[in-house]
Chain A
Amino acid sequence: MRAIYLAQDPTLADFGRDPWWLVVGKVLFAFVFAVLATLLGVWFERRVVGFMQVRPGPNQVGPLGLLQTLADGLKMAFKEDILPRAADKVVYFFAPTISVICAVTALSVVPFGPMVSIFGHWTPLQVTDVSVAVLVLLACSSMGIYGIVLGGWASGSTYPLLGGLRSTAQMISYEVAMGLSIVAVFMTAGTMSTSGIVAAQGDATRVTVFGTEIPAPGWYAILLLPSFVIFFIAIVGETNRAPFDLPEAESELVAGFMTEYSSLKFALFMLSEYVSMVTMSAVTVTLFLGGWRAPWPITLWEGANSGWWPMLWFFGKVIMLVFVFVWLRGTLPRLRYDQFMRFGWKVLLPINLVWILVLSGLRSIEDWDTRGKLIAVGIPAGLLLLATLFWPSRKPQPRPTVQEQVNNRPHGSFPLPPMDLQVPPSPRTRRVVAEREPANTVAGPESREV
């Protein structure tokens, strides 16, 4: 599928030409977006979880409780900042900042919109883009782990250390699955720059159904569905969100790596968690959900994908994904650690590899004629079907009945209670019942001794 590059699609050559005030403005916008997204994100999460649990959620501070997070944040800033005696002071201080910096930096390569005119400058709505922008995202998320693991270690306490180590193992494992699921996107888009990937997801092909032209979906969430599913699961693990919030599993580790943190440092960790949730949602939108491009019914309007409107579609998609994050948290119980790791390494990874293999196979036969394609796809598919049909299944051993098992026990075994589990009535009960005066009501035929 070849993408049609529209005039408003930025290319790599469009970046790096902004005047300094525009660069500062864009950076500031990305930062303010991250902070505002956290403020509203916490409120949104609490309201949505409240709605799911049939309770109002925060509704006192400001209209609809909108300012609740602000109040909480202010309160947090005035709390006592505790420095544990056993803490490694410098590292303890820097750990939360590393987390926040990495989470916010990732936003710099996320495209918020197409080319627009800002005070006469024709510029893309994106801080910057490089030919390896998606790798910048991966680098940011892998550096963000340092914040957590160093925070856990520098606290000089047991639970934070365990939480930090746990989260390292978790995030590294899920980063592998995440990186592999992006490979399919690279292969299909033919580029690693985020603006290029968004451009490649434009509606290029049109399918004629009953005389009307309908644009075929170019979103990679549809074209590369397995990659999308794996990527989304992996980013839930990567952002430490429920049901994968094992680093801060409060039933096992108190609060994980941030047990010893308080006041503004704790606030920074909270900030980085929500910023990375929003950042990862934005990355998912960029890589798989068409970025700032409008979905189909809106594209019937000609101006949907130009000017400032695409920012609206982009934010809509991001909010939708954040809602899914909250939804997951409100629905699923936390996984056990070994289940979680097994899921990452033994399920997500192999599925991903097989899917990449299949995809590259399909792409390499793209130029063949129909007959060759049918043979190339049909023979492996047929073999797979046959293999699943005739795979030797282990015959289930006939289980001995309970009575047989009891009879097979060696002589002198511990006495067993009766197998039918009917406790014989105690003779004493019988006597008491017999001696009691008859009650007013006549005992029916269904009444019996206990």
Chain B
Amino acid sequence: MAINKIVQSRTEAVQGIGDGSTVLISGFGNAGVPTDLIHALLDQGSRDLTVVSNNAGTGDKGLAALLREGRVRRIICSYPRSAGSIAFDELYAAGKIELELVPQGTLSERMRAAGAGIGAFYTPTGVGTKLAEGKEVREIDGREYVLEYPLKGDVALVEAEYADRWGNLTYNKSARNFGPVMAMAAELTIVEARNIVELGQMNPETIVTPSIFVDRVLHVPAEAATAA
């Protein structure tokens, strides 16, 4: 039977995401944010979410809208505050959201470890700082390292430039950022792709995310996309 991961609607794309899920959301600043999938999740109604994303949303679309609607209990990110991160800033000042601040490289490596089946890893990042408080520190070859655990998603929402029906992906410039690592780190990886191409049209030498990491693909042409 032909494998076809392409879904026909936003509703179908986010079907089955449960309350309390951990949701990995790609993007760095506004580049690579799957805004339409986030709005599909908003319409779907899941609550009490833990969101993992480098930033905490800006303006009033995408992650900012999800925050504003009170769907997110906890956010795990490296740099929540940006110009325009009003939704997050207000929730934070009011004590209405939990923040786990993670050094940026540790954030992506924890997801890489989850996707790669690695039980934990030692990193030199954060040694002797408040962000390493309470964590195991080990000296290896004369240098101190902090023990960090994998960060697995129940769901990943990822934006891509090209996809085929198997779920092979390529990205656009610096919109790639967290997409490939989040795609491999979740139980259910849902992709919003600008372009869908026939199987075999993507160059196997330049596919960035191989199909095995992807579960669903929603076609959101650039002209139909919700602006971040």
Partners in one complex: no
A contacts, CB < 8 Å to B: none
